Structure 1
Amino acid sequence: MDKDTFRSAMRQVAGAVTVVTTRGQDGEARGVTATAVCSLTVEPPSVVACINRDTWVGQIAPESRNFCVNVLAKAQQPVAETFAGRTALTGAERFRVGDWQDCETGAPVLEGAIASFDCELEQAVDFATHVILIGRVRRTLNDNSGAEPLVYVDGGFTTTQSAA
């Protein structure tokens, strides 16, 4: 299969927009916008995040052994765009957008996110261009569970509406 055909088909798969964050051994916070994130198991509570190895998070999370998955609300689209590299801000400067605190593991958590999952890294698996982070969820935060979710599909941001 050629990559353009695959990419075109995958653009039609809607995904929740998240910002996956970590803090390096040097104490520097890093984050990246990601849609390849999902729950793995309930026992133990765990999530999977697939992160491009070329990003700071993809390089640092396996060493720092922690990360936080922040599920964004529609109103947090500027945060998604910032951590996707669509602004001039880089590295730790990106945390100027949004209200960030530290989780118990030390990873940054976004105030007002629909849900956040503070994780200890259980395993990191390299595959092609990405690292698959498997995290044991130590704590969840649901600050904004009634908000409209931010969704990414067909190359753009949107939200959901009732199918009823």
Structure 2
Amino acid sequence: MSIDATAFKKGMRHLAASVTLITTRHRELRGGLTATAVCSVSAEPPQILICVNKTASAHDPIGEAGFFCVNILAPDHRKLAERFAGMDGVEGDERFCDMGDWFTLSTGAPVLKGCPVSFDCKLVTKVAAGTHTIYIGEIVDLALDPEAKPLLYADGAFVHVDALKHANAA
């Protein structure tokens, strides 16, 4: 017996996670989405997984391109997180046009400058899982900024790591 989707979503609001932009490039068009469903899989070889809703505009391009980048966002990327979550009505390749400083690594997927880390991945496995597809990627390159801090999402809101430190000190 399963619980209903509303109860599940309410419960998941208590699971804090890094906010990421998952990006790809397919047929010269860039695509991406904001996601928190990202997890390490293996260190040897280095692999991570992403869970992407089948209705997301970037779902099919990720599978067809065969590569993606997981950009772990910093607090100053909040507007980009909102844009790629569809909160400002901008869609597709247009999401990249007037926000962010973009470059590429080995696969050609868009990489956002200023992220704590961006994992450039080639797709190795995909698994259908209910409303989502689990894409497993082998990390072939990365960009690392050890000074940057991650943006988190918890209890339905974007949270800066420093805010959590201050809350614990009180």
With the shorter chain as reference, the TM-score category is over 0.9
Provide the C-alpha distance between the structure 2 equivalents of 1:104 and 1:37, rounded to a whole number of angstroms: 20
1:146 maps to which residue? 147
CA deviations 1:92-114 (Å, max 9, x no partner) are: 01002111112210110001111
Provide the C-alpha distance between the structure 1 equivalents of 2:53 and 2:105, rounded to a whole number of angstroms: 23
SS at match of 1:79: helix
How well do the aligned residues superpose, as a CA RMSD in angstroms?
Answer: 1.2
Provide the C-alpha distance between the structure 1 equivalents of 2:57 and 2:104, rounded to a whole number of angstroms: 18
Per the TM alignment, residue 147 of structure 1 is displaced from its structure 2 partner at its CA by 2.2
SS at match of 1:54: coil
Alignment of 1:5-154 (within 5 A): 5-24=7-26, 26-96=27-97, 97-143=99-145, 145-154=146-155
With the length of structure 2 as denominator, give the TM-score of the two structures.
Answer: 0.91
Task: Return 5+ residue gaps in structure 2 as ranges.
Answer: none
Give the residue type in structure 1 aligned to 2:50: A
SS at match of 1:148: coil
CA deviations 1:15-50 (Å, max 9, x no partner) are: 1000000111x1100000000001111000000000
With the length of structure 1 as denominator, give the TM-score of the two structures.
Answer: 0.94
SS at match of 1:76: helix
CA deviations 1:99-157 (Å, max 9, x no partner) are: 111221011000111100000000111111111010000011113x2223110111110
Task: Return 5+ residue gaps in structure 1 as ranges.
Answer: none
For these two proteins, the number of residue pairs brought into alignment is: 162
Provide the C-alpha distance between the structure 2 equivalents of 1:31 and 1:81, rounded to a whole number of angstroms: 12
Give the residue type in structure 2 aligned to 1:114: P
Provide the C-alpha distance between the structure 2 equivalents of 1:148 and 1:107, rounded to a whole number of angstroms: 22
Does structure 1 retain, via aligned residues, the 8 Å contact 2:18–2:150? yes
